[in-house]
Amino acid sequence: NAGVMQNPRHLVRRRGQEARLRCSPMKGHSHVYWYRQLPEEGLKFMVYLQKENIIDESGMPKERFSAEFPKEGPSILRIQQVVRGDSAAYFCASSPPEVSGPTDTQYFGPGTRLTVL
Amino acid sequence: DAKTTQPNSMESNEEEPVHLPCNHSTISGTDYIHWYRQLPSQGPEYVIHGLTSNVNNRMASLAIAEDRKSSTLILHRATLRDAAVYYCILSLGGGADGLTFGKGTHLIIQP
C-alpha cells in the first residue's frame, strides 16, 4: 500500500513564475491537508480539502495561493507569482474517511521543497 | 485551540529509555493527544495517540496523567534512528482538522 506521494520533490522557480505542487493521498483516503514549513520553523497548517470541496482554508495566504482536490487525480497546491518568501517545504497529508475511525490521524508525504530564485 | 508545552530539546543515550513530557493544562474533554515526529529532511510521521487511557504500539507508549493535563511519550529503547523532533498535538476527536504543530522537542541520541 503506497504512502502519500508528492511531486516534484524539489522545485526551483524564478520570482514571478507559478509553482504547482501535487499530492496523491493514500489509497482509500478522502481527506487531504497541506502544510508549509519555512526554514528553521515549525509546520503551519494551510488548507484541508475533501474531494471537490475546500473544508478549511484558514491557514492559506489570502493572495496567490490556491488548492484543489478534483474528483479524479491528485490534489494541487498552486502558488502564483512566487516570491522569495515562498521558499519552504510543503507537506501534504491524508486521512481516511470518517466511517473508518478517528479521522485526525494524518499520514504525511515526503514533501516538496520549493526554492524561489 | 488548546496549547501544549514541551522542552526545546532532550538528550539521551542509545539503547536507553526516553521519556518525552508534554503539558496541556487547557485540554478539553474531547481532545485527543497525538504525537508525531519529524526525522531530518522528512515529512512528519504519526507515532501514537490516546484519549484517557495509556496506549502502547510497536513504536512507543503514551502515558496520560489522570487529570489529562500532561502526558509522556516513552521510547523504551532509543536508537540513533529515533533522533527527531517530537511534536505533542491536541486535536478534536471525531472530526478532521488541520493539526497545530508547536516547536516540539528536539531529541538527540548519543551513541
Segments in chain B below pLDDT 70 = 1-2, 93-96
Using an 8 Å CB-CB cutoff, list chain A residues near B97: 48, 56, 104
Under a CB-based contact definition with an 8 Å cutoff, are residues B74 and B8 in contact? no
Closest to B103 (Cα-Cα) out of A105, A37, A41: A41
Q: Do A35 and B98 touch (CB under 8 A)?
A: yes
Cβ burial of B35 (10 Å; 0-12, 13-18, 19+) is: buried
- Give the per-residue pLDDT at B2: 63
The confidence score (pLDDT) of residue A96 equals 82
Residues paired with residue B9 on neighbouring β-strands, in sequence order: B106
pLDDT at B30: 83
How many angstroms away from the CA of B103 is the closest CA of chain A?
Answer: 6
Query: Above pLDDT 90, what percent of chain A?
Result: 78
Nearest by CB to residue A106, choosing from B46, B94, B103, is B46
Q: Sign of dihedral through CA atoms B12, A108, A88, B32?
A: negative
Q: Which long-range contacts (CB under 8 A, 24 or more apart) does A61-69 make?
A: A67/A34, A69/A32
Asked if residue A111 has pLDDT above 90, the reply is yes
**For chain A, percent of residues with pLDDT exceeding 70:** 93
Strand B70-75 relative to strand B84-92, pairing: unpaired
Return the residue of A nearest to B93 by Cα: A102
Asked if pLDDT for residue A103 goes beyond 50, the answer is no
- For the segment A57-89, what is each residue's pLDDT rounded down to a tens digit? 999 999 999 999 999 999 999 999 999 999 999
Contact B17, B74 (CB under 8 A): yes
- pLDDT tens digits for range A10-56: 999 999 999 999 999 999 888 999 999 998 788 999 999 998 899 99
